[in-house]
Structure 1
Amino acid sequence: MSWAALIGLALGTAAMTVVLSAFAGLEDLIVGQFEDANATLKVEPIIGPTLNLSEKDSIFLRGLITDIDETTVMHIFEKRVLLTNGDNQYISYLLGVPEEYSKLHNLSEHLITMTDPSMNYGEFTITMGAGVAYHLGLSSTNPPPIVTVYLPKINTKTNALNLSKAVDGQDAFTTAIHSVQADYDQKYALAPQGWFKKFTGMKAPSFLEIHTSNETTVRKTLEQYFEGNAIITNRLEQESTLFKVMRSERIVVICILSFIVLLASFGVVSALLIIALEKKSDVRTLWSMGATDKDLKSIFFKNGILIVSTGWLSGILLGMAIISLQKWIGIVPLGSGYVQEYYPVSLKWQHLALTTVIVLGIGSCLSAWATRRVIK
């Protein structure tokens, strides 16, 4: 057995295992960051600003809640508005949300400041992310500051003579400021659905949020029902740019590592050629004893597979050992200013299966090719 070929394959396999686990760990970390900001699943319209649901759709959604345990469907209304507080102005998205929104997004765990919950500030209240509050110059809600919400209402009757009627305004008490996730905090303010719908005149929701512990089942059910008439995304897919970048990076890295494994596998070819030269007299002896070319090819092919399999297994074990050390002890730091000290890793069976297919596939093909070259 060629030690050089074996070590090369082992290192290539270990590298692929570790790098894929690092990508998985980073993905899990990012998903964790968006866990409270994004819903498990989001259903958006393909065309237009609102998701127009029929009575049949409503019956289906109620059935979804009933049939699948721990599933909640929320209708979310969204409008882009101008918020003002004194001389401070900021354009953000105002969400009209039901009462259970705060609980499902765990906003109570991310509060920076809030008003006395025993006080009643009436119907017109608003909560906002820390980023929105910063731009409005707000840092405390005791006493609750009054923010004015301006909504453009331009239609066919709007002209230069009645521009004052093209904007509606509503004062609201700011009752809480939360810090969930940077992008979320910079983008959204939340309002109770009751006054939001009256203020905006919206009747159809902008999108649906679905919170469930059975993501795979619920998503499959939704996709079968809507049949491409709605966009359905999970937490990571809702961050489309980030999702595409991570997927592209993973594909590129897999291609590079596969090429490294391919180069390492050529060591198997060299090993088989060397063995053939060293065992030339033994090969002739086997020929003289009646061995066929097929028998001899089988011997060399099995030798090549033995090298590949040993290198693969050694690499998998080495990779798992490195991953365990990184996960439980910490070898590679992530750097200062990040949410955790060491680079995240996550070992998943899908990545082990992918590594196995690539390494054994390339190794087997080259072993077969080398065998044909050795025995002619």
Structure 2
Amino acid sequence: MNFPFYIARRYLFSKKSTHVINLISFISAVGVAVATMALVVTLSVFNGFHDLVASFLTAFDPQIEVVPAQGKTAPADDPILTKIRTLPEVDVATECVEDQAMAIYNGNQAMVMIKGVDDNFDQLTHINDIVYGDGEFSLHAANLEYGTVGIRLADQLGMSADWEGFMNIYAPRREGQLDMMNPTEGFVEDSLISPGVVFSVRNGRYDRNYILTSIGFARRLFGQQGMLSQLELRLKPGSDLDAVKAEMREIAGSKYRVLDRMEQQADTFKIMKIEKFIAYIILTFILVVACFNIIGSLSMLIIDKKNDVVTLRNMGATDKQITRIFLLEGRMISVIGAIAGILLGLLLCWLQQEYGLVALGRSSGSFVVDAYPVSVHPEDIVIVFITVIAVGFVSVWYPVRYFAKRLINN
């Protein structure tokens, strides 16, 4: 049996001559457990928001997007793009033309993003799951061009889902010079009508700015015949996303960038990761403060066991073994607190998932979800456990060695 561990375990669970030492040891373990629980719960809540945002984007963003590395557009018949879209793993490929324009409806105007897509856009994304109204998602019929507007943009322009009349769209001409005597000649004007629905991605970037229409309309408006802004792809079920993406990047070389959903929203997810990391750092500092209780407990224990130290030395225990006894006790408190805190944190996460104990708003429906979303990631639990153990071990190392050395020398 490990002699220092055996003695440390007896010291931890046995009654001390001064009962306050037991109390401080208990408080130390509770402090570590509470800080650990806070780490587990906080990181899981950030994971919940991350997964929630990602779930919204899957209804609008393609599984893979290929965009020019330089400039806004590229030829639609580029052999590189043709080779990518004809890969056996590709199920649906949609050409898109996207650019800024000005929309005017009933005297209300807004700068918008016109996104022209192919007729198979509803096969590429889950757009039909996020449209609302009495009509259905459509891009054109005969010579009529439809415009499906983001729900917040529709509100800004004073529209209903089934708005009447025409919405005028203006985009600057790409060729020629602007005649200041007749500035309207410097713009291309076209119009859209309502398909009877609006879309809601629950993301301000799309809901407040985007209008979906046919790619033919967008190409005429922006003077981009035969061009595309991005090639959007959906893979066949069961395809290895990472492997296919790597193959596409090899084909694309330096001419195109191949992006998955997370990379398409890199700024959004980067901000969320930074916020999560900052929360982790702050809570780790709180954990460090909690570990000071362990130092106090061990300091009093070392003084309380002064006579035991003399007995142990007479029995042949070395100074290193005696110091290790108190180090192990501090580490055992850290381990107990870490395990208890992780179990409590997982319990709270489960209760939040099942019952929504902490609501986002006072009234139901005020937010996208009624309660804080929670998602437990195993790697976060491992990181939390390692962090607690590391902080606990480091925090007691120097104080224990210092006090034990003084006690032994006396």
Deviates more, 1:302-311 or 1:208-217: 208-217
Q: Which residue does 2:21 correspond to in 1?
A: none
Report what 1:186 is aligned to: 208
Counterpart of 1:349 in structure 2 is 378
Kindly tell me: are residues 345 and 285 of structure 1, through their superposed partners in 2, closer, same or farther at Cα, counting changes over 3 Å?
Answer: same
Q: CA deviation at 1:36?
A: 1.5
Alignment of 1:187-206 (within 5 A): 187-202=209-224, 203-206=226-229
Decide whether aligned partners of structure 1 residues 303 and 219 sit closer, same or farther in structure 2, where only a CA change above 3 A counts. Answer: farther
In structure 2, the partner of 1:282 is 308
- The answer to whether the 8 Å contact 1:128/1:185 transfers is no
Question: CA separation of 1:116/1:267 partners in 2, compared to 1, >3 Å: closer, same or farther?
Answer: closer
In 2, distance between residues paired with 1:253 and 1:117? 42
The corresponding residue for 1:110 is 130
Structure 2 unmatched ranges of 5 or more: 1-11, 13-24, 406-410
Q: Secondary structure at the match of 2:228?
A: coil
Alignment of 1:79-228 (within 5 A): 79-85=99-105, 87-113=107-133, 115=135, 121-129=141-149, 130-139=151-160, 141=162, 145-160=165-180, 163=183, 165-182=185-202, 183=204, 184-202=206-224, 203-212=226-235, 214-221=240-247
1:304 paired to 2:330: yes
Aligned counterpart, 1:360: 389
How many positions carry a matched residue from both structures? 370
DSSP 3-state at the match of 1:331? coil
C-alpha displacement at 1:78, in angstroms? 0.8
Within 5 A, what are the aligned runs for 1:261-272? Answer: 261-272=287-298
Report the AA paired with residue 212 of structure 2.
L
Ranges in structure 1 where 5+ consecutive residues have no aligned partner: none
Do the aligned partners of residues 127 and 84 (structure 1) sit closer, same or farther apart at CA in structure 2, a change above 3 Å counting? same
Deviation at 1:67, TM superposition (A): 3.8
Other-structure match for 2:26: 3
Deviation at 1:254, TM superposition (A): 0.9
Instruction: Tell me how far apart the structure 1 counterparts of residues 230 and 136 of structure 2 sit (CA, whole Å).
Output: 31
Report Cα offsets for 1:149-195 as digits up to 9, x if no partner.
33321434444467554322334443242222252132111222234
Change over 3 Å in CA distance of 1:166–1:241 after alignment to 2: same
Distance 1:330-1:117 versus aligned 2 partners, 3 A rule: closer
Letter in 2 for 1:272: L
- Per the normalisation by structure 2, the TM-score is 0.78
Residue of structure 1 equivalent to 2:402: 373
For residues 106 and 402 of structure 2, what CA distance do their matches in structure 1 show? 83
Once the two structures are aligned, what percentage of the paired residues are identical?
A: 25
Partner of 1:208: helix, strand, or coil? strand
Corresponding residue of 1:331: 357
- The amino acid that maps onto 1:35 is T
Could you tell me whether the CA contact under 8 Å between 1:126 and 1:189 is conserved in 2?
A: no
Instruction: Quote the RMSD (CA, aligned, Å).
Output: 3.1
Q: Which amino acid aligns with 2:29?
A: L
What per-residue deviation string (whole Å, max 9, x for no partner) do you get for residues 20-54 of structure 1? 11111122222223331333444444542225685
Query: With structure 1 as the length reference, what TM-score do the two structures score?
Result: 0.85
CA positional deviation for 1:93: 1.5
Partner SS for 2:316: coil
| Residue 56 (structure 1) aligned with residue 80 (structure 2) | yes
Q: Distance in 2 between matches of 1:117 and 1:44?
A: 25
CA positional deviation for 1:352:
0.5
